[in-house]
Structure 1
Amino acid sequence: LATKVATYAQQLIQEYPAQGPPGDPHESWDAVQQQLGCCGWNRRQDWDHHEGPSGDTDGAETVACSCLKAPNSTHGTPGVLPHGRCPVAAPSDIFPKGCAAGVRDWLAANLITIVGVCVGIGLGELALLMLSMFLVRNLDPHYEKLLRGF
């Protein structure tokens, strides 16, 4: 599973648009990088091997704009980052860690909640199954005669 997720993340990075509005998977990747404060899957250098739409690599070093630490505005609220790829100004402006470690840490921190939700859904389905079995067993005997007629 971990290798499939890593392969999918690397594919998203390779297909990331150079400019303009990204697709839904790329917006999700932007949200992951911003929420976890990470860049690339393993490290920020994952963005160095990006090829443009024509198949050639860009000359300047660029990363997804979601890799950049959001600038603070004068009122203390974070600024809005553009979509697409942004040139690297200073290494200190980029999140230092890769998202693989961030995702692993987030899963470890929320494991009890995730398991609790899964168990709750399973118990709800079991309760509905028992209810349907109870209803089938307590049908009116004339109902079976109606079914046999078809």
Structure 2
Amino acid sequence: MEAVRSGVVVYPMRLLPGAEIKSSLIEFVKENRLEAAFVVTCCGSLTKATLRFATCENGEHTVRTLQQCFEIVSLVGTVCRDGAHLHATLGTSDGTTVSGHVVGDLVVQTTAEIVLGVAEGARFNRVFDPSTKFSELVVTQKS
């Protein structure tokens, strides 16, 4: 297990209608030279989401782009300059939910109120892991 002790700073923000959440968070991290960011909380609404659903035993990945109105019930994950690993749970108009790995296209409908945390004593990087075939999080102590 990789772990480091760190203080936390938070960045409350609001994304406006039409903004794409994942790319906006990555851009914010790059512009502000943040090295170990994570989503503390997020609420708002979306008009579109592209999600990858849980991987089956056969290794097939189901990715769907959904275009409808959603309430953001939960958004969690890590963000660094190398990319982001985000999972979302979204509420639909009939009260059911859909959830999965955020591929992209989280397009804001009315608002996305996000609190982004930063672990000040840590550095996050994403490195390809041949065993999972994904870029996985590497946590190191910030020097």
TM-score, normalised relative to structure 2: 0.27
Structure 1 length-normalised TM? 0.26
Larger % of strand: which? 2
Structure in which a larger fraction of residues adopt helix: 1
Of structures 1 and 2, the larger Rg is shown by 1
